Amino acid sequence: MEKILFKHIDTPDQNKIETYMANGGYTALPKALKEYKPEELVEMVKKSGLRGRGGAGFPAGVKWSFLPKGTDRPVYLIVNADESEPGTFKDRQLLEYDPHQTLEGTIISAYAINCHDAFIYFRGEFAYAAKVMERCIEEATEKGFIGKNILDSGYDLNVHIFRGGGAYICGEETSLMESIEGWRALSRQKPPFPAGEGLWRCPTIINNVETLSNVPHIVNKGAEWFASIGTEKSTGTKIYCLSGHVNRPGNYELEMGVNLKELIYEYGGGILDDRPLKAVIPGGSSTPVLKADEIDVKMDFESLAAKGTMLGSAGVIVMHDGTCMVSALHRLIHFYEHESCGKCTPCREGTNWMQKILTRMIRGEGKPEDVDLLFDIASNVIGNTVCPLGDAAAMPVMSFVEKFRDEFDNICNGGKPKGTLKFPFK
Amino acid sequence: MLISEETRKKLAELKDKYPTRQASIMPALHLVFDEFGYLGVEQLDEAADIIGVSRLDMNETASFYTLFPKQKVGKYLIQVCTNLSCALMGADNLVEYLEEKLGIKLGETTPDGIFTLWNVECLGSCGTAPMMQVNDEYYEDLTREKVDELIENWRKGEGS
Ligand SMILES: Cc1cc2nc3c(=O)[nH]c(=O)nc-3n(C[C@H](O)[C@H](O)[C@H](O)COP(=O)(O)O)c2cc1C
Ligand code: SF4
Ligand code: FES
């Protein structure tokens, strides 16, 4: 398969505008501005079937069409470069090595939704990526791709860089907007949805870096071409992030719907030290875990949903037989407890309580009834919170306990954790 | 006044850049952090006055974001990712090795004020685990040898 987003990821200096243009960059932008009206681009993206790569898989063109028609309020576009879901590291590579691709996608998408101020929100730790993008914006402005009257089209656009401060919750769209507005990033109750009332209560579209990076290619090669790649309902390619106990970790751009087993054993070179596989988290830490015998599954939105899990951000975390599932879950819950914004009780208290239980389990102080208690708390958090972080914390807990119950029971009945993860926190 | 002339100028430029003054807080926090390496109440108060927001709002927002230490830390702030992918690849051993090498525990600073050692959550670099962030830079695929080399270079730079 020919790569789309990663075609030039290893080309030296691809993050400079000359190289990007020599490799066919910034050809989609003039085409979009001259040949299409904004609403035609929205239709094109709809027809391509492009779905959000940030986690939920919502069709991008459909989201764009939710914007109010003929509004006199400013419309904002936010590029979500907060990438903080454990196991996910694709956006960083796109932004460091081929940032103009994302920027060109941003400019075209902004034009399509009549936006004149776009924001790229980087997680605070991505200082290098933000610096690179700052230079890219200057380069693109010099060439007349950003600013007033872009390529004589009469269209104006500013692109602003915003940097977060180390909070996972800022990846959630409403928290992210609170953060840009300068507040503590507490999630907002939805509705209203951002397309109606977003940044500064104005209509706002927010999309992931990888989602928008596809847009120039769709403009250049057409919606039908894009829709012909992948599966019927999950079109295009996907960047799968492979980490954990695997021989060749890294990012792999493959068609939507690649088999998970093939991804791990062929692309990833199999399990570290040739050990037996124990479990795989398929879509970032928030998605339900799969057991070793459940990985003969296609990596697309529908196929994973049919297996009771999710494609999410496609952060595939591989664990071999030496992994203590109780300790592994403890790491994840420690994360969610730390990142809960604290706005709603089930998430704030639930993550804290689950963390306490798991800590006592790995210290060998768990009681036999703790396993049911842990599951019960998670099942009372899920579906009962303001934003999906609560679900994101509950899903790993429920799936770990359901699928590896014997390990939890063992530890709570005086057995030892048998993994290599060491110090419990707090 | 603690904040330098140069940063004050940049802060003043932020003041009316966005639809609300409040929105200049995040960029302001980064400017102050870049100069001091932490955000103390005095700096936050000064910055709030320059960008024209209430001192309370400034401090309240700053307190939410864990990227910014609120007290002085070592010149090299070493942050090791101990989230799952890194943990599977030996982040715990890396922490132990750093503790041994620096003679401090997680959360502490060396007496000479050069190194602070923290553990943090996923840094978006899970495919090159174990890894750590030191100030603005990422150091990936870490081994004991690489850590030895890095620490030695930083110590040399400090003449100790
Ligand atoms: C807790 C939480 C964290 C999230 N983190 C991210 C993130 O880091 N990057 C991202 O693109 N989307 C993240 N999302 C999803 C966003 O809220 C939003 O749906 C997405 O950016 C929309 O873009 P897309 O439709 O292109 O995927 C997160 C959602 C939740 C609930
Ligand atoms: S679910 Fe958690 S992160 Fe989301 S609003 Fe509630 S407390 Fe905040
Ligand atoms: S788990 Fe360590 S960088 Fe992601």
| Tokens found for residue A267 | 């692309």
Count CA within 13 A, CB hemisphere, residue A24: 11
Residues A152 and A196 in one domain: yes
Q: Which residue has the tokens 């459940």?
A: A294
State whether B81 and B146 are in the same domain: yes
Residues A381 and A272 reside in one and the same domain:
no
CATH number, domain of B124, equals 3.40.30.10
Looking at beta carbons, which residues of chain A come within 8 Å of B25?
A: 182
A285 touches chain B (CB under 8 A): yes
E strand intervals along chain B: 76-81, 115-120, 132-134, 137-139
User: What does the pLDDT average to over A187-214?
Assistant: 97
Residue B99 counted as domain residue: yes
Q: Does a structural domain hold residue B70? A: no
Residues B148, B108 within the same domain: yes
A191/A251 same-domain check = no
Q: Does residue A268 sit within a domain?
A: yes
What CATH number is attached to the domain comprising A127? Answer: 3.40.50.11540
Nearest to A253 by CA among A279, A276, A273, A230: A230
The SS3 of residue A417 is coil
Question: How many structural domains does chain A have?
Answer: 3
Is the ipTM value over 0.90, yes or no?
yes
- The mean pLDDT value for A190-208 works out to 97
- Considering the domain architecture, whether residues B125 and B99 belong to the same structural domain is answered as yes
Secondary-structure breakdown of chain A: helix, strand, coil percentages, each rounded to the nearest 5:
45, 15, 40
Domain contains A7: no
Residues B135 and B93 in one domain: yes
User: B32 and B88 in one domain?
Assistant: no
- For chain B, the farthest-separated pair of C-alpha atoms sits apart, in whole angstroms, at 50
- Asked if A165 has any chain B CB less than 8 Å from its own CB, the reply is yes
pLDDT of A417: 78
Centre of ligand 2 to C-alpha A169, Å, is 8
Do A73 and A175 share a domain, yes or no?
A: yes
The answer, for A351 touching chain B at a CB cutoff of 8 Å, is no
User: Which of A200, A227, A254 lies at the terminal end of a domain, its last residue?
Assistant: A227
- Token output for A152: 């004589």
Nearest to A80 by CA among A206, A240, A187, A214: A206
Co-location of B11 and B37 in the same domain:
yes
Q: CATH number of the domain that B17 lies in?
A: 1.10.10.1590
CA distances from A48 to A4, A63, A222, A226, A256 (A): 14, 13, 8, 6, 14
- Residue A7 to residues A4, A11, A219, B1, B114, Cα–Cα distance (Å): 5, 9, 17, 51, 43
pLDDT digits (tens, 9 = 90+) for A395-424: 999 999 999 999 999 999 998 877 777 766
* A276 shares its domain with A395: no
Residue A190 CB contacts under 8 Å (≥ 6 apart), including other chains? A174
Query: B48 CB less than 6 Å from ligand 3?
Result: no
Helix, coil or strand: residue A319: strand
Same-domain status, A252 and A375: no
- Res A425: pLDDT: 59
Query: What is the C-alpha end-to-end distance of chain A, expressed in Å?
Result: 47
Indicate whether B71 belongs to any domain.
Answer: no
Q: Using 50, 70 and 90 to split pLDDT, how confident is the model at B159?
A: low
Range of the domain at B50: 5-64
One domain, residues B52 and B32: yes
Beta-strand (E) ranges in B5-131? Answer: 76-81, 115-120
Residue B97 lies in a domain: yes
Position A34 in a domain? yes
Q: Nearest CA to CA, how far is B92 from chain A (Å)? A: 6
pLDDT of residue A426 exceeding 60 = no
Token pair, residue A36, equals 């299409």
Residue at A26 is within a domain: yes
Q: Do B87 and A166 touch (CB under 8 A)?
A: no
Token pair, residue A240, equals 């799968």
Residue A123 in contact with ligand 1 by CB distance below 6 A = no
A125 in the same domain as A259: no
Pair (A283, A222) in one structural domain:
no
Nearest Cα to A78, choosing from A123, A130, A119? A119
Dist. CA A312–CA A335, nearest whole Å: 17
The reply to whether B37 falls in a domain is yes
Question: Is the pTM above the cut of 0.95?
Answer: yes
Specify if A405 maps to a domain.
yes
For residue A89, tell me if it sits in a domain: yes
- The two most distant CA atoms of chain A are separated, in Å, by 74
Let me know if A384 is exposed, middle or buried by CB neighbors in 10 A (0-12, 13-18, 19+).
middle
**Co-location of A131 and A276 in the same domain:** no
* Look-up of token digits 């914006």: A137
Regarding whether A196 and A96 lie in a shared domain, the answer is: yes
Distance from residue A400's CA to the centre of ligand 2 (Å): 22
Looking at residue A273, which CATH number applies to its domain?
3.10.20.600
| No. of helices (H) and no. of strands (E), chain A | 18, 9
Say if residue B87 is in the same domain as residue B130: yes
**Residue A379 Cα, gap to closest chain B Cα (Å):** 23
Claim to verify: residue B80 and residue B151 sit in the same structural domain: yes
Q: Do residue B53 and residue B82 come from a single domain?
A: no
pLDDT, tens digit (0-9, with 9 covering 90-100), for B108-156 = 999 999 999 999 999 999 999 999 999 999 999 999 999 999 999 999 9
Q: What is the pLDDT of residues A242-259, one digit of tens each?
A: 999 999 999 999 999 999
Nearest CA in chain A to B18: A181
Q: How many domains are there within chain B?
A: 2
Going by C-alpha positions, the residue among B64, B65, B45 that lies closest to residue B55 is: B45
Cβ–ligand 3 contact at B128 (below 6 Å): no
Task: Summarize chain B as % helix, strand, coil (round to 5).
Answer: 50, 10, 40
Shortest Cα–Cα distance, B52 to chain A (Å): 13
Neighbouring CB atoms inside 10 A of B97's CB total 18
Q: Say if the Cβ atoms of B26 and A164 lie within 8 Å.
A: yes
Domain limit, last residue, from A291, A320, A349: A320
Domain end marker among B15, B40, B64:
B64
Is the CB of residue A208 below 6 angstroms from any atom belonging to ligand 1? yes
In a domain, A391, yes or no: yes
CA angle A124, A397, B88 (to 5 degrees): 60
Residues A64 and A150 in one domain: yes
Among B64, B85, B104, the domain boundary falls at B64
Q: Whose CA is nearest to atom 12 of ligand 1?
A: A54
Half-sphere exposure of A188 (CA within 13 A, CB side): 19
* Shared domain check, B90 and B40: no
Please state, in angstroms and rounded to a whole number, the distance separating the CA atoms of residues A129 and B38: 21
Q: Which two tokens stand for residue A238?
A: 């996907």
Q: Looking at A168, A203, A227, which one is the last position of a domain?
A: A227
> What is d(CA A394, CA A383) in angstroms, rounded to the nearest whole number?
9
Residues A308 and A172 in one domain: no
**In contact, A344 and A300? CB cutoff 8 Å:** no
Q: Give A134-191 pLDDT, tens digit per residue.
A: 999 999 999 999 999 999 999 999 999 999 999 999 999 999 999 999 999 999 999 9
Identify the closest residue of chain A to B89 by CA–CA distance: A244
pLDDT tens sequence across B37-84: 999 999 999 999 999 999 999 999 999 999 999 999 999 999 999 999
Other beta carbons within 10 angstroms of residue B132's beta carbon come to 27
CB of A330 within 8 Å of a chain B CB? The answer is no
Same domain, residue pair B80 and B142: yes
Its domain, for residue A397, covers: 325-412
pLDDT at A416: 83
Among B38, B64, B90, which residue terminates a domain?
B64
Instruction: Assess if residue B34 is contained within a domain.
Output: yes
